[in-house]
Structure 1
Amino acid sequence: MSDLKAQFEQAQKDILTLSEAPDNQTKLKLYSLFKQASSGDVAGDRPGMMDFVNRAKYDAWAEHKGKSADQAMQDYIGLVKKLLG
């Protein structure tokens, strides 16, 4: 396993140790970076207007379109480190 992959997996564990949950925008950023790192570019149709949560997730993920998995992992790790202080 690569060092970056190990750090990414550790960051996923570390985020669960926060004393309080991040705000919704930060949660969306974490979600979208995780999805980009693990699944690549967003695919499928954009959810409808009334599906607020899934539409927000789709849009957040779509912002990272074209970003490499390694870069998304690095961004995720950096954001987790920032949140942990």
Structure 2
Amino acid sequence: MKPTTLDEAMALTQKFTTRPSNEELLKLYGLYKQATEGDNEGERPGGFDFKAAAKYMAWLNYKGKSKEEATQAYLELVNELSAKYM
């Protein structure tokens, strides 16, 4: 089943039988945040919070992409990953 909404796509990721790579997970995170909240305007996490910094940078990669474009890219990525991990 090909997802057509963010909610459907998120539900589909929960059915993956294998965990995607960290790189793939960060792409999913960045696209989802861009699709739901728009450009990342927050401050970069400091110190040794590497996970938060990686997520911040993943979201920042999509700065300037419209919510509609980010949604479409997210749906395409989930569809691609579902073929690989289900």
Whether TM exceeds 0.5 here: the answer is: yes
Structure 1 residue 7: Cα displacement: 2.0
Among 48, 51, 54, which residue is 2:49 paired with?
51
Match of 1:72 in 2: 70
Matched-pair contact (CA < 8 Å) for 1:36–1:61: yes
Matched-pair contact (CA < 8 Å) for 1:32–1:57: yes
Matched-pair contact (CA < 8 Å) for 1:8–1:74: no
Match of 1:20 in 2: 18
**TM-score with structure 2 length normalisation?**
0.87
Determine the C-alpha separation between the residues in 1 that align with 2:5 and 2:42.
29
| Runs of 4 or more consecutive aligned structure 1 residues displaced over 2 Å after TM superposition | none
**TM-score with structure 1 length normalisation?**
0.88
Structure 1 residue 38: Cα displacement: 0.5
Structure 1: where are the runs of 5+ without partners? Answer: 1-5
Determine the C-alpha separation between the residues in 1 that align with 2:29 and 2:56.
10
Match of 1:7 in 2: 5
Aligned length: 80
Determine the C-alpha separation between the residues in 2 that align with 1:49 and 1:82.
35
Match of 2:28 in 1: 30
State the one-letter code of the partner of 1:14: L
Determine the C-alpha separation between the residues in 2 that align with 1:45 and 1:84.
33
Instruction: State the superposition RMSD in angstroms.
Output: 1.0
Q: Structure 1 or 2: larger helix share?
A: 1
State the one-letter code of the partner of 1:12: M
**Percent of paired sites with the same residue:** 43
Helix, strand or coil for the counterpart of 2:42?
A: coil
Determine the C-alpha separation between the residues in 2 that align with 1:65 and 1:82.
22
